[in-house]
Amino acid sequence: MPDLYSCEEGWYCFCTLPKKERIAATHLENEAELPAFAPVVRYLKNTRRGKTTFQEAMFPGYIFVRCDLKSVYRRIMATNGIRSLVTYGERVPQVPAEFIEAIRAQIVRAQQRADEPELAAGTKVVIAEGAFKGIEAVVSGAVPGKERVRLLLEFLGQRIEVKVPRKSVLRTKSPLRE
Stretch (H or E) spanning 82: strand 82-85
Q: Give the residue extent of every domain in the chain.
A: 4-115, 124-171
pLDDT at 80: 94
Say which CATH topology domain 124-171 has: SH3 type barrels. (2.30.30)
Percent of the chain residues topping a pLDDT of 90: 44
In whole angstroms, give the CA distance from residue 28 to residue 6: 23
Q: Is the pLDDT of residue 62 over 90?
A: yes
Q: Is the pLDDT of residue 117 over 70?
A: no
pLDDT of residue 116: 55
Alpha carbon separation from 65 to 57, 62, 91 (Å, rounded): 15, 10, 17
Each residue's pLDDT tens digit, 70-108: 999 999 999 999 999 999 988 999 999 999 999 999 888
At 26, which helix (H) or strand (E)? helix 21-30
Q: In whole angstroms, give the CA distance from residue 96 to residue 21.
A: 20
Q: What percent of the chain has pLDDT over 70?
A: 89
CATH 3.90.1150.10 assigned to domain 4-115? The reply is no
Q: Please check the confidence at residue 55 and state whether its pLDDT lies above 60.
A: yes
